[in-house]
Amino acid sequence: MILEGNAHRFIKPDGNDNDINTDYVISGRYKFQCEDYNELATHVMEDLDSNFYKNIKKGDIIVAGKNFGCGSSREQAPIAIIYAGISCIIAKSFARIFFRNSFNKGLPLIECDTDKIEKGDKLNVDLEKGIIKNLTKNFDIKFNAIPPLMLKLLHDGGLVNHFKKNKGFNID
Partner 1 sequence: MWNDDNNKKSALGLTMVEKILSRHAGKIVKKGEICIADIDFAFGQDGTSSVIIDSFREMGVEKVFDKNKCAIILDHSCPSPIVGVSNIHKKIREFVKETGIILHDIGDGVCHELVPAKGYVKPGDLVLGADSHTCTYGALNMCSTGMGSTDVAAAMIAGKTWLKVPETIKFIANGKLKKGVYSKDLILYLIGQVSADGATYKACEYTGEAIDDLSIEARMTICNMAIEMGAKFGIMNFDKKLETWLEKKGIKDYKKVESDDNAEYLKIYEYDASSITPMVAMPHTVDNVASINDVKGTHIDEAYLGTCTNGRIEDLTIAANILKGKKINKNVRFIVAPASREIYLEAMEKGLIKIFVEAGAAVVSPGCGCCVGTHNGVPSDGENVISTANRNFKGRMGNNKAFIHLASPATVVSSAIEGKIADPREYLD
Please tell me the distance from the alpha carbon of residue 133 to that of residue 158, in angstroms, as a whole number: 25
In the complex, the smallest distance separating the C-beta of residue 4 from partner 1, rounded to whole angstroms, is 27
Which of 71, 15, 80, 18 lies closest to 45, judged by CA?
80
In the complex, the smallest distance separating the C-beta of residue 119 from partner 1, rounded to whole angstroms, is 21
In the region spanning residues 103 to 162, those forming contacts with partner 1, defined by CB under 8 A, are 104-105, 147, 149, 158-160
Question: Which of 119/164 has CB closer to partner 1?
Answer: 164
Q: Please report whether residue 8 would count as binding partner 1 according to CB under 8 A.
A: no
Q: List all residues 6 or more positions away from 37 whose beta carbon is below 8 Å from its beta carbon.
A: 79, 80, 83
Q: Which of 9, 41, 72, 107 lies at the binding interface for partner 1 (CB under 8 A)? A: 72
Please tell me the distance from the alpha carbon of residue 140 to that of residue 23, in angstroms, as a whole number: 32
Q: Please report whether residue 33 would count as binding partner 1 according to CB under 8 A.
A: yes
Which of 46, 51, 49 lies closest to 10, judged by CA?
49
Question: Which of 131/151 has CB closer to partner 1?
Answer: 151
Query: Per DSSP, what are the bridge partners of residue 91?
Result: 64, 111
Answer whether 73's CB lies under 8 Å from 26's CB.
no
Q: Which residues contact partner 1 (rule: CB under 8 A)?
A: 13-14, 19, 21, 23-24, 27-29, 31-35, 47, 66-67, 70-76, 78-79, 93, 95-97, 100-101, 104-105, 147, 149, 158-160, 163-164, 168-169, 171-172
